[in-house]
């Protein structure tokens, strides 16, 4: 009888400790699964792969035209679509964007891009080769992630933050050809995840590369590859005694794009085909190809109307260009359907041509 009571007491003590540990471990496990899948910014239709915030499109102008503007070279977001476009930029460009979405998600970015041209015409033999350069930051925030314990009781709200810092460079080996390369530093973090208010984070690097050809003034063709070697490396060994290290590769992306300008450069048409390859599966697999197309028309001096089509629906938008303090300043807005939740995506971009 005494032995039985002792065993029952020890079992009850062990169950209490296990239940306490599990209560704190369950939200951690759930959040870790979200991290591996690429956070709540990922949409179900794109298989929830890591780094989804880099595949959501960037800039109100691009989104309003369906998102497929990788062949264009008109603003600071050129490096995002295809780093080779930088050599075709005219002037120095600055862009700041903010996207508001449902489910407490935000996408933000800031870019600076310009081309470098020598005193001689770079198209002449013996002249200096033209080049392009860009610095970019892209950040995504998902807030109010509901943390719960083993019994389903709310514990606290969590926030997931993702960042990509990108350095891009391009050269123009010929008068109609540009080649470019981008290097990205990736950082993802869940602040205040443990009882000791510790953060769990992941870091990584990645690369983009592309070619842009302009056979005639009105037509541009582009081929680019994105997220070469891009991945998150999660390491919980410093947080937990039995922690582990997990690698979450980003899908490898390929884009084929075209852009045409006509009507005295007042009408722009773009189209793009993109396909991605999941590299962490065995066997590796290709995701379904995605196509997009869009139009931009200058309806009046400095007023641009845009519309597009992609797998999510029919985005649209508008933009205004005006002189402010002797500089061209632009304000763009776009609405894009949201495949994750109702309400759509509202994008705003403020741009400057220096």
- What sign results for the dihedral spanned by CA atoms 91, 96, 102, 103? positive
Tell me: the pLDDT tens digits for 258-275?
999 999 889 999 999 999
Predicted local distance difference test score (pLDDT) of residue 44: 39
121: pLDDT strictly greater than 90: no
Q: Which residue ranges make up each domain of the chain? A: 2-92+103-297
Give the position of tokens 């807030």: 143
Q: Give the DSSP letter of residue 310.
A: B
Predicted local distance difference test score (pLDDT) of residue 158: 82
The token pair at 145 is: 């992630």
pLDDT bucket at 195, cuts 50 / 70 / 90: low
Dist CA 354 CA 352 (whole Å): 6
User: Coil, strand or helix: which one is 171?
Assistant: strand
- What sign results for the dihedral spanned by CA atoms 319, 53, 231, 272? negative
What is the average pLDDT value for the chain, to the nearest integer? 82
Which one is predicted more confidently, 38 or 146?
146
Burial of 4 (0-12, 13-18, 19+ CB in 10 A): exposed
Which one is predicted more confidently, 175 or 43?
175
Tell me: the pLDDT tens digits for 22-75?
333 333 333 333 333 333 333 434 446 889 999 999 999 999 999 988 899 889
Number of Cβ atoms within 10 Å of the Cβ of 33: 9
User: How large is the average pLDDT for residues 142-169?
Assistant: 87
Distance from chain centroid for Cα 246 = 21
Tell me: the pLDDT tens digits for 212-246?
999 998 999 999 999 999 999 987 766 666 667 78
Predicted local distance difference test score (pLDDT) of residue 350: 96
Predicted local distance difference test score (pLDDT) of residue 244: 76
Dihedral of CA atoms 312, 40, 62, 136 in degrees, nearest 10, equals: -160
Predicted local distance difference test score (pLDDT) of residue 24: 35
Question: In which element (H, E) is residue 308 found?
Answer: strand 303-309
Predicted local distance difference test score (pLDDT) of residue 329: 95
Q: 63-74 as b/e, with b when 16 or more CB fall inside 10 Å?
A: bbbbbbbbbbbb
Tell me: the pLDDT tens digits for 290-320?
999 999 999 999 999 999 999 999 999 999 9
Tell me: the pLDDT tens digits for 98-114?
999 988 899 999 999 99
Residue 54's nearest CA partner among 241, 223, 274 is 274
């Amino acid at each position: 009888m005494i032995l039985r009571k002792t065993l029952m007491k020890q079992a009850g003590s062990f169950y209490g400790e296990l239940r306490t540990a599990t209560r704190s471990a369950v939200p951690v496990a759930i959040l870790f699964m979200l991290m591996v899948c690429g956070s709540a910014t990922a949409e179900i239709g794109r298989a929830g792969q890591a780094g989804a915030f880099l595949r959501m499109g960037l800039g109100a102008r691009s989104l309003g035209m369906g998102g497929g503007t990788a062949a264009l070279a008109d603003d600071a977001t050129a490096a995002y679509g295809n780093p080779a476009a930088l050599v075709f930029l005219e002037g120095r460009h600055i862009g700041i964007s903010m996207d508001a979405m449902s489910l407490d998600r935000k996408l933000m970015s800031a870019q600076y891009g310009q081309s470098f041209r020598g005193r001689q015409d770079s198209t002449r033999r013996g002249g200096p080769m033209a080049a392009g350069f860009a610095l970019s930051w892209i950040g995504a925030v998902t807030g109010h992630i509901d943390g719960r314990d083993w019994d389903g009781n709310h514990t606290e709200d969590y926030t997931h933050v993702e960042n990509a810092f990108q350095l891009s460079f391009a050269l123009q080996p010929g008068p109609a050809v540009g080649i470019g390369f981008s290097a990205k530093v990736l950082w993802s973090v869940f602040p205040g995840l443990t009882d000791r208010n510790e953060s769990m984070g992941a870091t990584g690097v990645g690369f983009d590369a592309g070619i842009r050809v302009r056979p005639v003034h009105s037509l541009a063709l582009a081929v680019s590859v994105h997220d070469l070697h891009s991945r998150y490396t999660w390491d919980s060994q410093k947080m937990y005694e039995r922690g582990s290290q997990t690698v979450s590769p980003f899908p490898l992306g390929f884009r084929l794009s075209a852009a045409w300008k006509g009507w005295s450069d007042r009408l722009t048409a773009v189209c793009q085909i993109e396909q991605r390859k999941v590299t962490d599966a065995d066997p590796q697999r290709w995701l379904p190809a995605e196509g997009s197309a869009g139009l931009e028309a200058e309806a009046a001096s400095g007023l641009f109307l845009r519309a597009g089509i992609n797998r999510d629906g029919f985005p649209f938008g508008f933009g205004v260009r005006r002189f402010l303090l002797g500089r061209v300043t632009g304000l763009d807005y776009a609405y894009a359907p949201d495949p994750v939740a109702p309400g759509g995506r509202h994008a705003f971009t403020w741009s400057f041509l220096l």
